[in-house]
Amino acid sequence: MGTLKGILLSMADEASFGAAVFIACIRTGNILV
């Protein structure tokens, strides 16, 4: 497995994780409001 492919995969994992956290924060924010 090339390093470039590994970097792209890690970036995709971080992006999906960040999006999940962002959505969770929005949902909890809406519940609190």
In order of 5, 16, 18, 27, 32, the CA distances from 23 in angstroms are 27, 11, 9, 6, 14
Mean pLDDT within 2-29: 86
Does residue 30 register a pLDDT over 60? yes
Residue with tokens 């609190």: 32
How would residue 1 be classed by pLDDT, with cut points 50, 70 and 90?
Answer: low
Specify the pLDDT at position 32: 59
Specify the pLDDT at position 6: 86
Mean pLDDT within 10-28: 88
Range of the domain at 6: 1-33
Over pLDDT 90: what percentage of the chain?
3
Specify the pLDDT at position 33: 54
